[in-house]
C-alpha cells in the first residue's frame, strides 16, 4: 500500500508544480481568474501531496540512498536543502494565500482588486510570492530529482 501512496504523492506534486508554473504564466498575461484557479489547484495538489507523504512515512515506508559513494555528498546536499526549503515553503504559501484571500474579500471580486481596500493585501500577496514561487519550484524540482535518484539508487528501509 505504501508504494502506491508514494506513487500518488509523486503524481500530485508534479501536477502541483505544473499548476504553479501555469498560474505564473496566467498572471503575467493579466488573466487573474485563470491565475487564481491555477494557484488554488497547485495549493490543493500540494496539500494532497503532504497528506500522502506523511501517510507514507507513518506507514514506515522510506528509502535510503545506496548509490555511488562519489555522489553521496551531492545527494545529501540536495536532500538537506530540499528539506529546509520544503519546511519554509508551507508558511510562505500560507502567507501568500492569506493575503490573496483577504484582498479578494476586500475587493468583492477580481475586477475590483485595484480598489484601495484590496490593494494593500494584493501588494503583500505580491511580496510573499516573490519568495514563495522560487522556493516552491525549487522544492518541487529537487523533490522530483530525489525521487528519480532513489528510484535508481534507493533501498526501502524496513522497521
DSSP state, residue 112: G
Residue with cell 484571500: 101
The total number of structural domains that make up the chain: 1
Q: Is the predicted pLDDT of residue 139 greater than 90, yes or no?
A: yes
- H or E stretch including 65? strand 62-65
At 115, which CATH number?
1.20.120
Backbone angles phi, psi at 155, to 5 degrees: -130, 130
Closest Cα partner for 148 from 41, 87, 75, 48? 75
CA dihedral sign of residues 10, 137, 82, 87: negative
User: Measured between alpha carbons, how far is residue 32 from residues 105, 113, 114, 146, 158 in Å?
Assistant: 15, 10, 12, 33, 47
pLDDT tens digit sequence for 86-130: 999 999 999 999 999 999 999 999 889 889 989 999 999 999 999
For the chain, the average pLDDT equals 95
Across 99-132, b (16+ Cβ under 10 Å) vs e yields bbebbbebbeeeeebeeeebeebbebbeebbeeb
Q: Model-level pTM?
A: 0.90
Mean pLDDT of 21-49: 97
CB 79 within 8 A of CB 73: no
User: What's the angle, vertex CA 129, arms to CA 126 and CA 131, rounded to 5?
Assistant: 125
Task: Give the percent of the chain with pLDDT over 70.
Answer: 99
pLDDT in tens, 37-52: 999 999 999 999 999 9
Q: Residue 102: give the domain boundaries.
A: 2-157
| Residue 122 region by backbone torsions, left for phi larger than 0, else alpha for psi between -120 and 50, else beta | alpha
Amino acid at each position: 500500500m505504501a508504494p502506491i501512496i508514494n506513487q500518488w504523492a509523486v503524481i500530485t506534486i508534479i501536477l502541483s508544480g505544473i499548476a504553479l508554473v501555469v498560474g505564473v504564466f496566467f498572471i503575467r498575461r493579466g488573466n487573474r481568474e485563470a491565475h487564481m484557479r491555477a494557484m488554488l489547484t497547485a495549493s490543493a495538489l500540494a496539500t494532497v501531496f503532504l497528506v500522502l507523504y506523511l501517510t507514507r512515512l507513518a506507514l514506515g515506508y522510506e528509502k535510503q540512498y545506496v548509490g555511488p559513494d562519489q555522489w553521496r555528498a551531492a545527494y545529501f546536499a540536495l536532500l538537506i536543502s530540499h528539506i529546509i526549503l520544503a519546511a519554509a515553503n508551507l508558511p510562505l504559501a500560507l502567507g501568500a494565500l492569506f493575503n490573496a484571500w483577504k484582498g479578494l474579500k476586500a475587493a468583492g471580486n477580481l475586477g475590483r482588486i485595484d480598489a484601495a481596500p484590496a490593494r494593500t493585501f494584493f501588494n503583500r500577496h505580491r511580496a510573499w510570492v516573490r519568495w514563495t514561487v522560487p522556493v516552491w519550484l525549487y522544492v518541487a524540482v529537487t523533490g522530483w530529482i530525489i525521487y528519480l535518484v532513489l528510484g535508481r539508487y534507493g533501498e526501502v528501509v524496513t522497521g
